Structure 1
Amino acid sequence: MSVAALPLSKPSPVSTFLELTKLRISGASTFTAAAGYVAFLRGADAGLITTLIGILLLAMGSSALNEVQERRYDAMMPRTAGRPIPHGDISAGRAALVAVILAVSGFLVLLTAHNLTSALLGALALGWYNGFYTPLKRLSAFAVVPGSLIGALPPAIGWTAAGGSVAHPSVLALAFVFFIWQVPHFWLLVGLHAEGYEKAGFPTLVSVFGRARLSRLTFTWTCGTAAACGLLPIFRVLVSWPAEIMLGLGAAWLIAGSLPLLKEGQDAPLYRRVFMNINLFALVLTAAVILDPFFSR
């Protein structure tokens, strides 16, 4: 028997679960929630663990539900055709059951270990992503702008789980930075995979503006993300000079790395590189907020 004729091995249940729940993306949003928790307490305690568990469960449940909702469209796109449901590794019904169990568990962890506010914000994040943003993507190429509330909510959940008020100016400033960040992050993904999105029937800004104009618009929002970071020292999210320098250098690096978006002839490697840069910047931003209380001691 030739190698080409050998049957493909079925993924293990563990790998199917991790792919269904998008652990890397879910983990990234959970990490930003840690920034909100530490920023309020100006430190960390055992409650940080239950906060992260609750948010991670909610994020994984939301991701799994999203894959149930978009399974037909995922099957049409090369980037997502290998996901567990369109690939046949798990049925939509079982995936939906997994999503519900994870989401309810995450809500209950936040409610019982912390407070109603953090649990309700977690439920809002799931409802906004799965009930509003996911269907809106089928209707508008600009869906990511209101949909970016999803990026703003995890730090607010962490802040309120630690005992803070969701209306406090400091957490609003932190949430706003992550809100702005979410927009160019998604538009870079669109620039990288526009053909696949359009094949599956999703409207994209590449079809609205063209790739060159989208690149300039993305650069503008990237600069806006860097500029928004100036709110964090103003509203006392950051108070130590090492954290401020760390974030300032990260913002300057982000802008410098995005400058090629203004040139003619953008290609996939460029979008991929800038996409990786903006993801790394989110890591630097989150790390600066988490480390700030320890730098200021």
Structure 2
Amino acid sequence: MTAAAIPVRKPGLAASLLELTKLRISGASTFTAAAGYIAFRRGADAGLATTLLGILLLAMGSSALNEVQERHLDARMPRTWHRPLPRGEFTPAGATAIAVGLALAGFLLLYLVHGPASAWLGALALAWYNGFYTPLKRVSAFAVVPGSLIGALPPAIGWAAAGGAVKDPTVLALAFVFFIWQVPHFWLLVALHAEGYEEAGFPTLVKVFGRRRLARLTFTWICGTAAACGLLPVFRVLGTLPALLLLAGAAFWLLVGSLPLLGKAELDARLFRRVFMNINLFALLLTAAVILDPFLAR
């Protein structure tokens, strides 16, 4: 029996909508945008709510559009065959209409309430993800490197919505850390699901290097992510001792937890899954440090 033939309980409309729009991933992007907003304002105000709502709507629209674009490939992967479009819970036209509606609502909210800079940065994020990165994944195993701009944009959108200039070195330092982080984050996912990606027709670095060399390359990028965190106090993204200790502790914990990637023992799914969860938690702690810093300074 194939994966697609396994009977599963059909979710309700609300659950299918949340899955179509990848609310968990969209919410994570929105959380990093909060760091950019609060870092500029050095606190929170009513504008934070409209900023986060606008970014969340854009992210959900972009995610839904991505599922339309990759519906045929998703149907061939064990990790994604159960998504709403492969299972026929939405038509491509219906899902596209939902995606466009959400993205347009998010763009207009940012534009009308926070000005053109944040709105056009949001539009750039959607265009880069759906118009550049999504098709590039089908032809290059290295697509995530330029595609990681997606991880850097949400903090910049939050910063711009708060009134900051995008060329400010402070927000560029913060965005750079998330840019570097995105690469090992995705490669760990590839190491976990390489066979599924390849079956669907995506080129992977497991095919290019093998898992052991990919594990070492991923560890190198994890080291780069930890090292890039040193830019944050230098460019005054954060400066209180508790926030610095939280950031330093998170970076050290990530490095130590990733050391098994260099080991000679067999690399199995449990290791990649553990490091993948670690790097996600690191991003959460990094964002929390940036958000808490202004309040700790009072």
| Aligned-partner Cα distance in 2 for 1:191–1:93 | 33
| Aligned-partner Cα distance in 1 for 2:282–2:11 | 33
Kindly provide the amino acid, as one letter, of the partner of residue 279 in structure 2.
I
Partner of 1:87, secondary structure, is: coil
Kindly provide the amino acid, as one letter, of the partner of residue 157 in structure 1.
I
Mapped pair 1:227 → 2:227: yes
The two structures have a TM-score, normalised by structure 1, of 0.97
Structure 2, unaligned stretches of length 5 or more?
1-6
| Aligned-partner Cα distance in 2 for 1:210–1:230 | 31
Alignment-derived partner of residue 11 in structure 2: 11
Kindly provide the amino acid, as one letter, of the partner of residue 278 in structure 1.
I
Alignment-derived partner of residue 3 in structure 2: none
Kindly report the root-mean-square deviation, in angstroms, between the aligned alpha carbons of the 2 structures: 1.0
The within-5 A match list for 1:119-268 is 119-264=119-264, 265-268=266-269
Alignment-derived partner of residue 280 in structure 1: 281
Report how far residue 14 of structure 1 moved: 0.1
Alignment-derived partner of residue 292 in structure 2: 291
| Aligned-partner Cα distance in 2 for 1:92–1:86 | 10
| Aligned-partner Cα distance in 2 for 1:9–1:86 | 15
Partner of 1:85, secondary structure, is: coil
Alignment-derived partner of residue 81 in structure 2: 81
Partner of 1:254, secondary structure, is: helix
Report how far residue 9 of structure 1 moved: 4.0
The within-5 A match list for 1:15-26 is 15-26=15-26
Once the two structures are superposed, residues 215-237 of structure 1 have per-residue CA deviations (whole angstroms, 9 ceiling, x without a partner) of 00000000100000000000000
Partner of 1:86, secondary structure, is: coil
Structure 1 contact 11–89 (Cα < 8 Å) conserved? no
The two structures have a TM-score, normalised by structure 2, of 0.97
Kindly provide the amino acid, as one letter, of the partner of residue 235 in structure 1.
F
Alignment-derived partner of residue 3 in structure 1: none
Once the two structures are superposed, residues 58-111 of structure 1 have per-residue CA deviations (whole angstroms, 9 ceiling, x without a partner) of 000000000000000000000000000001111111100000000000000000
Kindly provide the amino acid, as one letter, of the partner of residue 291 in structure 2.
I
Report how far residue 10 of structure 1 moved: 2.6
Structure 1 contact 257–274 (Cα < 8 Å) conserved? yes
Partner of 1:84, secondary structure, is: coil
| Aligned-partner Cα distance in 2 for 1:81–1:92 | 15
Structure 1 contact 74–81 (Cα < 8 Å) conserved? yes
Structure 1, unaligned stretches of length 5 or more?
1-6
Provide the identity percentage. Answer: 75
| Aligned-partner Cα distance in 2 for 1:98–1:266 | 41
Report how far residue 8 of structure 1 moved: 5.1
Partner of 1:31, secondary structure, is: helix
Once the two structures are superposed, residues 152-188 of structure 1 have per-residue CA deviations (whole angstroms, 9 ceiling, x without a partner) of 0000000000000000000000000000000000000
Partner of 2:78, secondary structure, is: coil
Q: Give structure 1 regions of 4+ aligned residues with deviation exceeding 6 angstroms.
A: none
Kindly provide the amino acid, as one letter, of the partner of residue 101 in structure 2.
I
Report how far residue 11 of structure 1 moved: 1.4
Report how far residue 49 of structure 1 moved: 0.1
| Aligned-partner Cα distance in 2 for 1:8–1:289 | 41
Kindly provide the amino acid, as one letter, of the partner of residue 289 in structure 2.
A
Kindly provide the amino acid, as one letter, of the partner of residue 38 in structure 1.
I
| Aligned-partner Cα distance in 2 for 1:18–1:257 | 32
